[in-house]
Every structure is written in structure tokens, then in C-alpha cells.
Chain A
């Protein structure tokens, strides 16, 4: 069971309290109705599914109930960091150099 740090509660809590909510930083267009078919496809269907670093959303379901973002290594399952929803994709990842 993973330990996940909720950036709102500022605590590491067991995975049981959380729910994964898919890839992060996929912005919904402000002008949704005018989105082209190609753009809609990218927005709705296409996910990076990387081997390695993934930026993803989690919800602290049985805690503060907030959605937040996390950087996780899909190979080791290690969380490199978590940050609040709406914050930009972090430029420097702790411990990601190796």
C-alpha cells in the first residue's frame, strides 16, 4: 500500500484514503463547443501512459476530499512529489535525476 502526501492536509496518508483520477494537466478548453475533432480526440481519448514519470490526479477521497496532482514513477510506483490542483507542472523533480 502506497503512502501518499496530500498537499492540502500536508500529511502522508495510506493509499486507501485516496482515489486515482487519471492523467493531470489535460486542460478543458475554455471554448469547448468550438474544439476541432482532432483536438477533442487529444483532450478526451489520448493519454500518455508512460513508462516512467507520470503526472496524474488524485483525490483525497476519505480525507479532505480535494483533488490534487502527483508525480509518480510508474516503474517503481514511487511518488516524487504532490502539489495542489491548478499549480503548474513542476520544473524540477526531487530525486528524478537518477
Chain B
């Protein structure tokens, strides 16, 4: 059965091919090729939404992407709920389910519409003025209430099950907009053989040819010509044609972001199709053919359902075969709305009257309308619309006042003129220029290699548009390197011409009125709001915009910006260009997070780095922690153990027998070359020239400002080769820091740097039995204390594979770090583990590593230091070469503030109650009885329970800390103040005898 407002034979859709859909639970029939909007209109449904602030009933304003009102939720399943979909853009598919938004309990009866009656309280800037105090009420009362009452759709509450793809593309000529201008430009460019991409946001190309019934090109109907031209372009190897693709952002150097909606229009998208595809296109030349958007008339109650743009009504009729009413009124300030009246009249729709604000316009469309018997009124205004859920009448008055006359209508089609779509041009950083004669902003100075053609360039008329676009397409191709090939320019046989129109509020909505004449439908901004903003002191259009929120909704003011600007200019008594246009920003239309994120979600969001020994630790039931991108074994709980029990056991076992620790994540850099030692001298505070090959040294790296940047043990393998280790998290930046100095400050040094972090698996074997565990597996290295003393390194073999064997300790016990090529990491670990088992060794994780090093007062850069700690602050003066004349940080370290008295020193803290473990980050004060806010003199940097010491231990940065040994300080906490004693940093084996134990 054909829907009530579908006109048999009208439009381009095959009316026999019906499809079912539902809106707010009601089932309807549509036709294949419909949008949700055209299908609803075919069924006589105009009321589709409630407005953002006043909850006023709203219908369709447009037939395209500029739609501010008809936002609905499309629901495919429980996870696939898309809010704020413009019904004018959503293509219909069988079974589509849509719901209206921002209404309760129902669309036709919305309790919050009381807000409309109480609207004097909700005028522009009401947030700032009405809800000011008490302060706490904003957070607890006003904001939640306002947010609940005002709003758009509801965000989905489940993870997005769809996938999104992304592509990069390069082309010679990118044409944005696929109306007559874009197609002509693309044809001209494509005929030269250069690579062309043509994109348009709609399902079908043609732009305004969708509705311009008067256009004929190359002997055929304009829309048919467009389809034929697209078929030609599609058949060319050098052309890519993208429909349903919106250019949303124009960035530097002709880099344009486009989103292609791949499957939102399909009934069953299928798992193999992405929902959307992001195109990142780099073009040598860009042709902007983005057209123009019709403006509405600003008059009282111009938002009633049934009131829409004249071009939209034409689109619904001429493309979709749908009449937007049975008795329509026209309100216009230019010629183009006449064409709507003529088309509708010819299709058998009643046209009550044309109300034209102009005094005595002349032209063929006016004559034609009259000839068809349509009543035409000049010099009159529609001062008010009647009806609530649907427009029922328009009240007409001479524009300078006089008798009113109310004409019953069921739709009002309006046109205040056309606004060139300069959004992308403006995003390209081009400067728009105001044409005073035509009252519109058009592209002025260009900032990039692009050109605007057609309506977006202010070019009127189809012939002129095609001439301009074809020439521009050919020139763009030539500029991009084409050898000129002569094509055939499309020939325009008939076209429509539109004259200008008006900006701002129409009569009846002037400064002396309090009517609701909407400028911005989506944000409920009226002409009165904009005047009020000016009266309250806003002078710049940017301020007016923010105060009223005009143009700040998801439609970004596509229909409202020019009206808002004109009203502000009029109220300010300034010409429009002096008030200025607000900046156009990306995105042109809303873009989903999914399309921007693409595949970079979940596991693909960020790389996860795992060591060679990771699977073993996983199998042992280790608990992991994230350290940068690395997964590190945190502790190895045995059955029934919690974290504390496991860590206590691991700590005791290491000091009693031995422990194995996966230290593979340590950053490693190979510093090689004849000048390697000189380079090390400059990058680290320590002296390196005299370090003998085979020996190691703890190195400190500073930034030029004198603060600690990184640390690590460095082994000298040969006169010209250092094995440098860095902190796990610091490896990439240390490498960058070294490369920076080597390439730019010390390029005379002959040195090579290579990151070897992932080449070496590192197994730390620590504890009194460590040598016994390793020795049976090692070949070619004398493991005696005399031959391999603490802080030395040897190359040899372990388990038959090459090793760099370090004798070093981050626990204070006799210790080794076995470096083997990463591929052998697991096998060598297995062998060491088997040996370790014979001695009762355990595997330990990062938590135990932290506790054991804190027991010895070894710092962790980034935990015990924070980027404002000098070597002296950290008690590491001994590691700074006193005789050195240069190293990075030598001068910074000597700055007055860095050598001043009273700096924070790293010290130990012991709680008076040994069972109390301090909180890391807790603040320290000298006098707990002082008034709040207290003077903080430091903070706790590391704090643990030490099973080996039988008490808690902590490290802290405390002002003048080394001069406070034995002093009692206080750590105020929510549950009471904790007394602490300042101590040295070493809590266990102060003499360091166990290194050789």
C-alpha cells in the first residue's frame, strides 16, 4: 500500500519496492532508497523530536546533513545504539528501528516542555546567572538536573561491537562535493589521466540536482546526467569515487580526513564489512565543491513541525516522491522558494499562498507561479506560525505593519537565501571575505593549494558553475603535473537561477518583540537571546556565540551562523564584516570515535612487551604489573599466599639462599667506538677513562639542568665498548638523549650507539648461593672472587650459549646478572632454575626486588627522585667525578639554588612503631601541632615492610635531611599522626659484607 503522502509516479524511487521500519514502536512502510526522514514524511509524520532546552516539538528542517532538529536513535541491537542520528541522512533499510530522543514520557506529551512556559528563566547565559550559588548546589543539584532535562541522545552503554577501518590515500586532485560543480571538476581532472578522488556525503551524487527540476545538462535531466557522469568516472582506472563519504577536516598541506559510512545503510552489514572507513588523503590539489545551504526565515514559532526549508520540500518531492503537506504556505525572501511552490503545485499539492518579503520582485519563476494560479503576496511577512505539534496556520502582515491575516496551512516552506559552505575552505586556513552586495561570506585569500568552485564560491547559476568547475578541475590537474588532454565540457541546456535573500530576523521578530523566533534550532537560541547577549556586553561574535551557544550544537550552526551574526551586527550597529565570522572547526559533521580510533583499541591500543621468560612466570602463577609497556612478574604467590606472604618469603629466601629474577626489561645500550670512553665521560657524572675493561661502575646521568635523569650499571667490555644499562622505563628517552648529544653537540666523537634492550635476556641470580647455582653451567669464566670481583663483567658461555656475565648486586647480596641472547633466555633460565632448586632458591618479582634494594638504600630513579633531585640530594656525590671539567649537567648542578642549604635530602625513616608501614607519598612535618595548613618539609618516596629487618623501612626526601639524623619527625595521616625517626638510608648489612658473603 502506498503511503498517504507518497505521490504516485513522482520522484525517482521505485515505489513498488517497499521496506518496513519502525519509529517509536510504530511500524511504517517506506520505499527502497528512502531516508528515514522521507519515509516518515511519506507517512505524514512530522513530529520527530524535542528541542534541547525548551523541549519544544520539532520536525524536519532540511533534507540533508545540515539538519538540526530531526535527531533520532537508531538501534540495531543492545550494543548497537547510535544516538543523534540525523533522520535526513540515515538511509532506510528493512527492519530499521528508530526512536525519538529527549522526551518523557512520550514525544507528543513531554513533561519537560514546561520549560518552554518557564523559558524566561532559561534565556541566554542562564547557566551563568541563575545557578551561581550556593557553590555546592551546582555540583549536587543544578548540574545533574539541567543535564537530565536538557540534552540530546543517550550514549551507548556497551562496548562498540563494530569494527572500523582506516586507509591512507594519495592523489593528484581531490574533489570534495559531488554536485554539478564537483562532478564537472572531477571529469575535467580525470580526463587528463591524473589520479582523482571524488567524494560526496550522500548516497547518490548530484547535490542540488536532487531537487533542481529545471536543470538540464547534455540533453538530459540534471540528476540523470550526474549519474551518467559518475558511471563514466567509476569506469576510469585513475579515479576513485567515494559516496556516503564526508570530508570532515581539512588539515595542513592538503591533508584531508574523510569518513566513509560503509554499512550503516545496510540491513545486514555482515561481519566482514567495517561500519565506517577513515580515509586520510594527501592531495596535490584540492577542489572544493561543497555547495551552499539554504537558510530559514527567523519569525515567531518558526520551529513548529511542518516548517522546513523550501529546497528540502523540493528534495522530498522531486527525489523521494513525497509531499510534505497537502496545503503548504511559502515564506521567502528570494526566488528559489518559488520553484518549490511550482513543483508542488504541478504535482497536485495545494499551495495556499506565497509570502514574499521583497517589495516588487520580478522574474520568470514569479510569473510562472502566478500563471499556475498561486496567490503571491509581496512586501509581506509571516509574523507567526500557528499550531503546536504541527503547524496549522501562518499569520501574514504587511512588513511595515497593518492588518493581520491568518492562512490555514499544514506546512510552511521557507527560504531566506543561500549560505556558501565555506567550512572546509576556512578549515584550510583560507580567509573568507564578505561580499557586501550579495551579503555572504565567500572564499577570499587561500592558504593552501586548493580552489573553490560553484555555490561554495558564491558562483550563481548552473552554467557559470560548470564553466568555473570544469576549468578549475583542468587547472588543478595541470598544476598537479598533467599533460593537458582535451575533454568535453558538459553543456548546460537549462538551469534555475536564484537571487539573494536576507539575513537576520524578519519583521515580527524585531528588537521590540519577545517572541520565540529561532535562529539556532538545535541549541534553542532565539533572535532575542542574541540581542540580549549584546545588551549584556558581548561585543565580539565569539563571545555572543559562547554566551548564547548559537552555532555550538552538533550541526555547528550550518543554518544559524549567518542569521546570528546579522542580528548581533544590527544590535551593535556595526556592519557584518566588522563583527566577524566565528571560526569553522573540524569536524564538519559529527564523526564517530570508532572511525578515529580504527583498529587501535583493546589489545591493539598500545603494544605489550613481554620478556623471553614471561611464559615461564605465567605458568608459575606469577602476578604481573605494568611497567611502561612491559609486563613484569610482580611476585610469585604459592598456594594460600597473599601478596605480603609471598613477598616476605621471597625476601627472606634471597638473603638466606638465593633468588632468580627476570631483569630482561632493563634498558641496554651498546656504546662502541674509539671515543666511547670520552662520550661516556660527557654523558655521565662518573669518570670512565680509567675504568678497566672487565670492570663495572654505577653511572648517573643528568640533564643539563643538573638533575638526575637516569642511572644504571655500566660494564666496560673493551677499551672501545661499553654495555650500558638504563632504568626499564627510561630506556627510550636515554637513547634519544644520547643520540641527541652525539649527533648535535659532540659530533666530533667517533661513537656508535645501539639499543640492545630486546637482544639480551637478563637473569639476575642473587643471594649467598648464587655462585654455586651459576658456576656449574658456566664455561670459560673464572668465578672466584679474585678473578670475578664485585662490579665486574666477563664474556664466556653459559649452557653452551654466549653470555655477558655481570657480577653485580641490586640486593646487597653476592649477585650476578646473566645476559644471554634473548632467544636463549628461557632455556638458560630453565637450567639456572633447576640448579637453584637444589639450593632452595626461589623466583622473585619486582616487589621483592624493590624491598631488597630499599633495605640497602639503593634508589630507584623516578620513585625516589622526581626530576628535581641532584646527585648531592640523593647522597650520590661520590659518583660525581670531582676532577672532570665537563659532563652534561656539570653547570646546572652548580646553580645557586642547587647548592643552597636546606635542600631536600634523601634519607631513611624508621617509624617509632616498627609495625606501622608509611604510605608512599605521605607528607612529613616538623611540628605536628602547628596550624593547618602545615608546613611540609618532605615526603615519603619508598616504604615497605621488611621481613629481613623485622620492621618497616622507608626512604624520604626531607629538607636538610642529612642534618636531622636521629631527629623525630611526623607524618600526619587521616587516622592520626605517625612518629618517625630520621636515619641513614641503609637498613640492612650496613657494612656491605654480604656482597662477598
Contacts and interface: CB of A to CB of B under 8 A. Distances in A.
B744 A67 contact: yes
Contacts of B896: 37
A3 interface: yes
Given A67-B740, A67-B743, A44 B280 contact: no
Given A1-B280, A21-B740, A67-B740, A86 B747 contact: yes
- A31, A32, A37, A86 — which one has the most chain B CB atoms within 10 A of its CB? A32
Contact of B744 (A19, A78, A86): A86
Given A2-B253, A31-B886, A66-B743, 15 more contacts: A1-B252, A3-B253, A3-B255, A28-B704, A29-B891, A32-B891, A33-B891, A35-B891, A40-B892, A59-B736, A59-B740, A67-B739, A85-B743, A86-B744, A86-B747
Minimum-distance CB pairs A-B, first 6: A67-B743, A32-B891, A28-B745, A3-B253, A1-B255, A85-B744
Contacts of B78: none
Given A57-B744, A65-B739, A86-B744, A44 B892 contact: yes
Contacts of B890: 32-33
Contact of B891 (A40, A65, A78, A85): A40
Interface in A24-81: 28-29, 31-33, 35, 37, 40, 44, 57, 59, 65-67, 76-78
A2 B448 CA distance: 13
B891 A3 contact: no
23 contacts: A1-B251, A1-B252, A1-B255, A1-B280, A3-B253, A21-B740, A28-B704, A28-B745, A31-B886, A32-B890, A32-B891, A33-B885, A37-B895, A40-B895, A59-B739, A66-B743, A67-B740, A76-B429, A77-B252, A78-B252, A85-B743, A85-B747, A86-B744
B863 to A, nearest CB: 26
Binding site of A, secondary structure by majority: helix, strand, loop or mixed? loop
B705 interface: yes
Contacts of A1: 251-253, 255, 280
A87 to B, nearest CB: 12
A33 B739 CA distance: 22
Contacts of A77: 252
B704 A44 contact: yes
Interface in B720-746: 736, 739-740, 743-745
A97 B416 CA distance: 44
B282 interface: yes
A85 B940 CA distance: 44
B250 to A, nearest CB: 12
B447 A76 contact: yes
Contacts of B895: 37, 40
A19 B255 CA distance: 19
A9 to B, nearest CB: 15
A40 to B, nearest CB: 5
Nearest to A27: B745
Interface string B221-256: 000000000000000000000000000000111010
A67 to B, nearest CB: 5
A33 B892 CA distance: 9
A73 B744 CA distance: 23
Nearest to B893: A33
Contacts of A40: 891-892, 895
Interface string B896-910: 100000000000000
A23 to B, nearest CB: 12
Contacts of A85: 743-744, 747
Interface string B506-542: 0000000000000000000000000000000000000
A98 to B, nearest CB: 11
Interface of B: 251-253, 255, 280, 282, 429, 447, 704-705, 736, 739-740, 743-745, 747, 885-886, 890-892, 894-896
A80 B546 CA distance: 36
A85 B745 CA distance: 10
A3 B282 contact: yes
A77 B740 CA distance: 24
B587 to A, nearest CB: 16
A77 to B, nearest CB: 5
Contacts of A29: 891
Given A32-B891, A33-B886, A2 B705 contact: no
Nearest to B743: A67
A53 B886 CA distance: 33
Interface-centre pick from B429, B704, B744, B747 (highest chain A CB count, 10 A): B744
A74 to B, nearest CB: 12
Contacts of A67: 739-740, 743-744
A32 B886 CA distance: 7
Interface string A86-97: 100000000000
A85 B746 CA distance: 12
Contacts of B280: 1
B886 A2 contact: no
A2 B282 CA distance: 10
A64 to B, nearest CB: 11
Contacts of B892: 40, 44
Contacts of A65: 739
Contacts of A59: 736, 739-740
A76 to B, nearest CB: 7
Nearest to B887: A32
Nearest to A12: B253
A66 B739 CA distance: 8
Contacts of B251: 1
Contacts of A57: 744
Nearest to A41: B895
B567 to A, nearest CB: 32
Contacts of B744: 57, 67, 85-86
Nearest to A30: B886
Contacts of A31: 886
A24 B9 CA distance: 71
A32 B282 CA distance: 46
B508 to A, nearest CB: 45
B428 to A, nearest CB: 11
Nearest to A28: B745
Contacts of A66: 743
Contacts of B886: 31-33
A17 B286 CA distance: 24
Nearest to A86: B747
A35 B895 CA distance: 11
Nearest to A3: B253
A37 B894 CA distance: 9
A28 B255 CA distance: 37
Nearest to B280: A1
Contacts of B255: 1-3
A64 B378 CA distance: 71
A23 B886 CA distance: 23
B886 to A, nearest CB: 5
A2 B252 contact: yes
Contacts of B885: 33
Nearest to B889: A32
Nearest to A69: B744
B132 to A, nearest CB: 37
A84 to B, nearest CB: 10
A71 to B, nearest CB: 16
A76 B739 CA distance: 30
A42 to B, nearest CB: 12
Contacts of B739: 59, 65, 67
Contacts of A37: 895-896
B898 to A, nearest CB: 11
A1 B257 CA distance: 10
A73 B369 CA distance: 56
A74 B729 CA distance: 33
A3 B253 CA distance: 7
Contacts of B740: 21, 59, 67
A37 B893 CA distance: 11
B669 to A, nearest CB: 13
Most chain B CB inside 10 Å of its own CB: which residue of A2, A37, A67: A67
A40 B747 CA distance: 22
